[in-house]
Structure 1
Amino acid sequence: MTKRLLTKKEQELLKGNSYIKSVSDKAITYTDEFKRHFIAENVNGKLPRDIFEEAGLSADLIGIDRIKTAAKRWRTAFREAGIEGLQDTRKTNSGRPLERELSIEEKYARLEARARLLEAENELLKKLDFTRKADVEEEIKIAPELKFELIQQTIKKYRLKRMVSYLCEVMDVSRSGFYNYFDEKSVQKRAVKDSSDEVLRDSILKAYHFRGRHKGARQIKMTLQNQYQITYNLKRIRRIMKKFDIICPIRKANPYRRMAKATKEHRTCKNELQRQFKQGVAGKVLLTDITYLTYRGGKRAYLSTIKDAETNEILAYEVSDKITLDIALNTLRQLKRRHSHIRNDAIIHSDQGFHYTNPTYQKLVKKLKLGQSMSRRGNCWDNAPQESFFGHFKDETNLKNCETLEEVRREVKSYMTYYNHYRGQWNLKKLPPAKYRQQLQQVA
């Protein structure tokens, strides 16, 4: 039977007893004095539990199994070797050489081995620092397994002899752990696991490259589930990505960006939405905005979109090399042509840009029987879901490789298809926007 592990609090309580020599979560080492006391009392007929209790060693704290095991071991040792059998001889009989003064040559060899190992460690840290997330500032920690590999590589590369104990001490790992790691059974077990991990890696890479859009762990999980009917635990995906250096570039937040403190509403069009983006119905809350797209040679295009706030689906979009009123008007006309599920009480929400305050635009909004709402001046949070879409769009598209406006339009069209029909979203039951809308409509 496996013995219960001792908690940190229990270990502290035991360390305060004069009969305890040392204690860990798994084992307790008693003093030779207590062992002799135990045998003397036990020979006189006292029960092991009572002897421990009287010595301030509670059976509830230590565990009755530990008491029985210790009692049996000490009685056997006393029967075979008398009082001397109760002495702790691990230090003198371990087979290890006693501490002695090292020669100049041995000291030099150790210093050289230490320098080689720390050099290898530094190279590994640089690699880990390069592959970690850009916004993580915490100290990088090297796993014990990597330390074992470093020690082994250093010993082999520089032909270091009898340096295992010293190098393990330098790296703050146990010598027994090092030898266990390179034990034949452990190596075979890792080989089987590595083979299994390679199968997982191939599936993950298939999702990672799906439709040419790189993805993080969550996107990979949803793509595997939606496109390949494969379900992997998110922690497992992250472990495989880390193991095989499958990295998704992550946009770094701008630490110098300041949010304007804005409360001023437009005089003719109030903020009717008040950030109530999710109202449980598709086609009721529509968000619109325009962003710029930079492509090869520093050339610039503009993208106008209309997004369903409930399903996150892009309902209409227009790409132009000019930021005139037409780009906003054409996006509205596309909305009318392409989508019949827009509700009669739907409102379209935007910022206070000149496109949306223009009388021609407002007239077309009324003609389409839509209500109109506007964010407060300079407040991007009032239209946050739309701004969020533009952020993901710019992260996941390959506009820098486009040379012409026509190529930009093709890339935008490709991404909109991917986004609406294939890109799962965690908060949409892990479904793409179009499929999520279909579910909502079926329920309704």
Structure 2
Amino acid sequence: MREGAIENVPKIAQPALRHRVKIQIYQSVQETSSDEQCSIQYLCQLAGISRASYYKWIHRKPSRVDIEDARILPLIQAIADENNSLFGYQNMTYALNNNSDVKYNRKRIYRIMAINGIESHFRIDQRHSTYRKSTPQETKDNLLDRDFNAEAPNLKWGTDITELKYAGDKLYVSTILDLYDRYPVGVVVSRRNDTKLVHDTYFMAITLNQGATPLLHSDRGFQYTRKIFSRMLENDGLTQSMSRVGHCIDNGPVESFQGFIKDMAKVLFGKAHTYEEAAEIIYRTYEYYIYRYPQKRFHGKTAYQVRQEALTANTPEQYPIAPNRRIERFWERIEKSKAKHQAQAQQ
């Protein structure tokens, strides 16, 4: 990497990248002098470094920091290899700390990863909203009212359906997400986007959480506005809430979560060629997320850890959602796009 290119990266990364480039230059001089039998002086001049600095590097003795970094590097590399470089430095730090009695500093992990060229392959794709017109049998007020914080598990659930394309075909993933700990209490994959998909997801969630009577929030998709579904929730003691028309931000946590899961699946497992492969990838990605993915909001804990602690605590720990204007602007753009599609569909 050239100096000009280093200047274009964030300042926090520049020292580590400069160090990495310098080491690469020294290593190139060392390897070339052995292979090509060129003089050290000539190679140093060619590389733009002094011969004294090169020999200082050759005869260096590793410091305590170097020794500790060398011990940590294989731990980082093992995690990166295992999940196809899903983690950036922050989640890598959480993962290391969750699996060790030693608590590592995130700046150190950042430096080690930058020097050794270990970076996250996880990129969030740009989402495009679509509008599907339906005639609801029943609608409910937006009782959730964008209050996405919950004081304990099983108080507020959100649900949605997303599609996943594979090999010219697609499947549908229905999720019920607990807003307290972002724990998927129900996940079902199907070839069909129908009422049965929603019912199966609900039955899974309610069966695994006996006695739970949360508020269940959804959009106004045809599956959620059927009388049979509303009666089912009512009979089980749940309160139904629905997003306003054209306001997908009302169900923002679940919609963004499903997009996040699809992006994670691409990094962890790549492309699927059959329905069976795609379904397995989705279920395995959810499993990885639940048990292995540390989250900043939860101070590096996984959704599973947060849920288990809360279910056994007299007073569950609180994890308030920090305001994020960037995310708010993103959802505002989505709402405008959805309103545009809705207007076009009604013409």
Q: Same fold (TM over 0.5)?
A: yes
Q: Partner residue of 1:182?
A: 54
Alignment equivalent of 2:251, drawn from 383, 390, 413: 383
For residues 213 and 426 of structure 1, what CA distance do their matches in structure 2 show?
A: 18
Post-superposition offset of 1:316: 0.5
User: Aligned with 2:223: secondary structure?
Assistant: helix
1:250 and 2:125 are equivalent in the alignment: no
Distance 2:237 2:191 in 1: 29
Range with bigger deviation, 191-200 or 215-224:
191-200
SS at 1:189 equivalent: coil
| CA displacement 1:256-300 (0-9 Å, x = unmatched) | 96999xxxxx983111111111121110000100011122x2221
The reply on whether 1:226 has 2:98 as its aligned counterpart is yes
2:194 maps to what in 1? 324
Q: CA deviation at 1:163?
A: 10
Separation in 2 of the partners of 1:340 and 1:410? Answer: 27
Q: CA deviation at 1:304?
A: 0.2
Displacement of 1:243: 1.3
Q: Which has the higher contact order (CA 8 A, sep 6+)?
A: 2
Deviation at 1:443, TM superposition (A): 2.4
371-380 vs 304-313, which moves further: 371-380
For 1:145 and 1:306, the matched residues in 2 are separated by 45
- TM-fit CA distance, 1:357: 1.5
Say whether the 8 Å CA contact 2:146–2:251 is kept in structure 1. yes
CA, structure 1 residues 161+388, in 2 after alignment: closer, same or farther (shift >3 Å)?
Answer: same
Q: Contact between 1:301 and 1:405, CA under 8 Å: does it hold in 2?
A: yes
CA distance in 2, matches of 1:250, 1:369: 40
What does residue 204 of structure 1 align with?
A: 76
Separation in structure 1 between the aligned mates of residue 41 and residue 273 of structure 2, nearest angstrom: 60
- Tell whether 2:14 aligns with 1:143: no
Deviation at 1:193, TM superposition (A): 5.6
Task: Give me the whole-angstrom Cα distance separating, in 1, the residues matched to 2:210 and 2:178.
Answer: 13
- Corresponding letter in the other structure for 1:242: A
| Residues 272 and 278 in structure 2, CA contact (< 8 A), matched pair in contact too | yes
Q: Which runs of 5+ in 2 are unaligned?
A: 132-136, 315-347
Q: Which amino acid aligns with 2:221?
A: G
Q: Is the 8 A contact 1:211 1:418 kept in 2?
A: no
1:404 aligned residue (249, 253, 274): 274
**C-alpha distance after superposition, 1:106-162 (max 9, x if no partner):** xxxxxxxxxxxxxxx75x877x79xx98xx799989727736965996897886968
Q: Distance in 2 between matches of 1:163 and 1:209?
A: 35
Change (3 A) 1:441 1:160: closer
Pairs within 5 Å for 1:153-168: none
Aligned counterparts of 2:211 and 2:294: Cα–Cα separation in 1:
22
Match of 2:333 in 1: none
1:36-55 residue CA offsets vs partner (Å, 9 max, x unmatched): xxxxxxxxxxxxxxxxxxxx
The residue type equivalent to 1:294 in the other structure is K
Letter in 1 for 2:61: K
Correspondence for 2:303? 433
Cα 1:385–1:341 shift into 2, 3 Å: farther
Q: Report the secondary structure of 1:329's partner residue.
A: helix
What is the match of residue 288 of structure 1?
A: 159
TM-align CA RMSD: 4.0
The one of 188, 198, 208 aligned to 1:338: 208
Structure 1: give runs of 5+ residues left out of the alignment.
1-120, 169-174, 261-265
Q: TM-score, normalised by structure 1?
A: 0.57
Distance 1:238 1:245 in 2: 10
Q: SS at 2:189's partner residue? A: strand
Q: 1:197 is matched by which residue type in structure 2?
A: D
Going from structure 1 to structure 2, the CA distance change for 1:442 and 1:314 (only over 3 Å counts) comes to same
Is the CA contact (8 Å cut-off) linking 2:80 and 2:87 kept in structure 1? yes
1:273 and 2:144 correspond: yes
**Cα shift at 1:228:** 4.0
CA 1:279 to 1:329, structure 2 compared with 1: closer, same or farther past 3 Å?
A: same
Larger radius of gyration: 1
SS in 1 for 2:158: strand
State the TM-score, normalizing by the size of structure 2.
0.72
2:182 pairs with 1:307: no
Task: Specify whether residues 271 and 191 from structure 1 end up closer, same or farther in structure 2 by C-alpha distance, changes over 3 A only.
Answer: same
For the residues of structure 2 that align with 1:152 and 1:207, how far apart are their CA atoms? 26
Question: Which amino acid in 2 is paired with 1:373?
Answer: S
Displacement of 1:336 in angstroms is: 1.7
Cα contact 1:300–1:321 (8 A) shared by 2: yes
CA drift of 1:166 comes to 11
Are the counterparts in 2 of residues 180 and 186 from structure 1 also a CA contact under 8 Å? no
Name the SS for the 1:356 alignment partner: coil
CA distance in 2, matches of 1:281, 1:333: 21
Cα 1:362–1:223 shift into 2, 3 Å:
same
State the identity as a percent: 24
Which residue in 1 is equivalent to 2:225? 357
